[in-house]
Amino acid sequence: MRYITGGIALGAALALGGLATTAQAEPATPKSLYAPSELVLTVGYGDTAATASIQRAVSLSCSSAGSGSHPMARAACAELRTANGDFNKITKAASDRMCTKEYNPVVVTANGVWQGRRVAYEHTFANPCAMEAGKGVVFEF
């Protein structure tokens, strides 16, 4: 009768252990069928985003129905989808609202990703009345 010595058993264990360390990692799989759409939106007083005093900021995620800290996330995402992510179509839309000619600039910004592409948007309204007339649901917070 033959007995397996410790050296042979140790060699077999090392060989099996060596095989386990060479296993390939599984490829990353996407967590969603939607392209990423994550934005940070701000409203502030000033001529430009760089010099503005930020008054409010929210997050908006439109990868599915709409979520984030935006109070009307679903409606804001729907408005952005209708505009194909073009913020100018939202902020520069024609309005019948009458406003005074005072200059008290309000700046809105959108930074992040919209349907997989980088977004850095900034628009300055002449005053709060003009912003109310042209902000759409996206900047309604």
Query: 39-57, pLDDT tens digit by residue?
Result: 999 999 999 999 999 999 9
Distances (CA, A) of 117 to 39, 71, 91: 11, 24, 20
Mean pLDDT score, 73-92: 94
Q: What is the pLDDT of residue 110?
A: 97
The more confident residue out of 59 and 12 is 59
User: Position 91: which residue type?
Assistant: T
Encode 14-37 in three state secondary structure.
Answer: HHHHHHHHCCCCCCCCCCCCCCCC
Q: Give the pLDDT band of residue 135 (cuts 50, 70, 90).
A: confident
Residue 75 predicted with pLDDT over 60? yes
- 101 in Cβ contact with 130 (< 8 Å): no
Spatial distance between the Cα atoms of 5 and 26, rounded to a whole number of angstroms: 37
Sheet holding 117-125, edge to edge: 53-61, 38-45, 106-114, 117-125
Mean pLDDT score, 91-102: 87
Q: What is the pLDDT of residue 49?
A: 94
Mean pLDDT score, 87-94: 90
Supply the mean pLDDT for the chain. 83
Distances (CA, A) of 20 to 17, 42, 132: 5, 51, 63
- Model-level pTM? 0.72
Residue 134 predicted with pLDDT over 50? yes
- 70 in Cβ contact with 41 (< 8 Å): yes
Q: What is the pLDDT of residue 39?
A: 96
Residue 85 predicted with pLDDT over 60? yes
Domains for the chain: give ranges and CATH numbers: 38-134 (3.30.350.10)
Lookup: tokens for 48: 């430009």
| Torsion of Cα atoms, 63 then 64 then 69 then 75, to 10° | 110
Q: What is the pLDDT of residue 67?
A: 87
